[in-house]
């Protein structure tokens, strides 16, 4: 049986703007098995980043549920008023590989130390970290600091960090958005190759139709909003 790694049911999210409540996402349901990938598409402002933020607990939904690897989250408030913040933080540290638009590297640490830190926080083997940089073709830059390498090399380091933690699910927001076509294709190749090697889930928000076409599923938020 292909059990869902991620299942999302009837998720809704709105933001307050002055006195107005602006709906951004409504009735979002999806399921993703381990080893599957899904592209989130839609025009600017359609809610792609918001959905990724909901899927890693950085925002809480107004309603609906999210289940990741058997951990079930809802709008966050329990009967005694506590949120699921702690459980989300544990899940992010151990199982969710998050790659957002700006590669989130610690500026005062070398690329290798960034990768090591990520592995350590996830309780994973730190000795393999140099190998991850090698696999992403930036092994020779291991001792450089993030501001001493290019944007594409920082994106590769961010991917090395994600894979060093052996995530169950990768959430990537425009992971190749700031790169030229050739570098974008190389980074995307690595992302899909490693995702397939690991058999983890992948959700990526993108405006790039070629990148989206490589995913097993596509969810077009703009299309949903206008249909
Ligand atoms: N914290 C917030 N407070 C108020 N409104 C917000 C907040 N975050 C996002 N929004 C609004 O929600 C809508 C969806 O934003 P989101 O960033 O999810 O879109 P997106 O599809 O990722 O856009 P892009 O492709 O431009 O990155 C936008 O109209 C945005 O202005």
**ipTM attached to this prediction:** 0.96
152 occurs within a structural domain: no
- Complete edge-to-edge strand list for the sheet that includes strand 217-220: 96-99, 169-173, 201-205, 37-41, 217-220
Total domains present in the chain: 1
177 occurs within a structural domain: no
Q: Is the CB of 44 under 6 A from ligand 1?
A: yes
80 occurs within a structural domain: yes
H or E stretch including 213? Answer: helix 209-213
Q: Is the CB of 42 under 6 A from ligand 1?
A: yes
pLDDT in tens, the chain (227 residues): 456 899 999 999 999 888 899 999 999 999 999 999 999 999 999 999 999 999 999 899 999 999 998 888 887 655 444 567 888 888 888 899 998 866 789 999 999 999 999 999 999 988 989 999 998 889 999 999 999 998 888 888 998 999 999 999 999 998 887 778 888 888 889 889 889 988 999 999 999 998 999 999 999 997 664 43
Give the residue carrying structure tokens 């058997």: 70
Of the candidates 54, 44, 76, the one whose C-alpha atom is nearest the C-alpha of residue 177 is: 44
User: Which residue segment(s) compose the domain that 213 sits in?
Assistant: 1-13+25-95+202-227
Q: Is the CB of 49 under 6 A from ligand 1?
A: yes
Q: Residue 14: how many CB atoms within 10 A of its CB?
A: 15
122 occurs within a structural domain: no
Look up residue 89 and give its two tokens.
């933080």
For a mutational test of ligand 1's pocket, the pick from 11, 23, 49, 224, i.e. the residue with the most ligand atoms closer than 8 A to its C-beta, is: 49
115 occurs within a structural domain: no
Q: What is the CATH number of the domain that holds 9?
A: 3.40.50.300
For a mutational test of ligand 1's pocket, the pick from 14, 19, 22, 24, i.e. the residue with the most ligand atoms closer than 8 A to its C-beta, is: 24
């Amino acid at each position: 049986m292909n059990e869902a790694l991620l299942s999302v049911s009837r998720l809704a999210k709105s933001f307050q703007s002055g006195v107005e409540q602006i709906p951004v996402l409504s009735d979002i349901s999806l399921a993703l098995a381990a080893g599957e990938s899904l592209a989130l598409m839609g025009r600017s402002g359609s809610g792609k980043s918001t959905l990724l933020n909901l899927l890693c607990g950085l925002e809480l939904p107004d309603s609906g549920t999210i289940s990741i690897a058997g951990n079930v989250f809802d709008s966050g408030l329990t009967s005694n008023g506590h949120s699921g913040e702690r459980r989300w933080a544990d899940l992010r540290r151990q199982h969710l590989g998050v790659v957002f638009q700006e590669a989130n590297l610690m500026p005062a640490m070398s690329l290798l130390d960034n990768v090591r830190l990520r592995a350590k926080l996830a309780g994973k083997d730190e000795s393999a970290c140099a190998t991850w940089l090698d696999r992403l073709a930036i092994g020779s830059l291991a001792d450089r600091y993030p501001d001493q390498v290019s944007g594409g090399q920082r994106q590769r380091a961010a991917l090395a960090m994600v894979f060093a933690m052996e995530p169950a699910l990768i959430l990537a927001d425009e992971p190749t958005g700031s790169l030229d076509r050739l570098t974008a294709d190389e980074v995307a190749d690595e992302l899909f190759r490693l995702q397939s090697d690991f058999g983890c889930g992948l959700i990526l928000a993108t405006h790039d139709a070629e990148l989206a076409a490589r995913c097993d599923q596509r969810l077009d938020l703009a299309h949903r909003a206008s249909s």
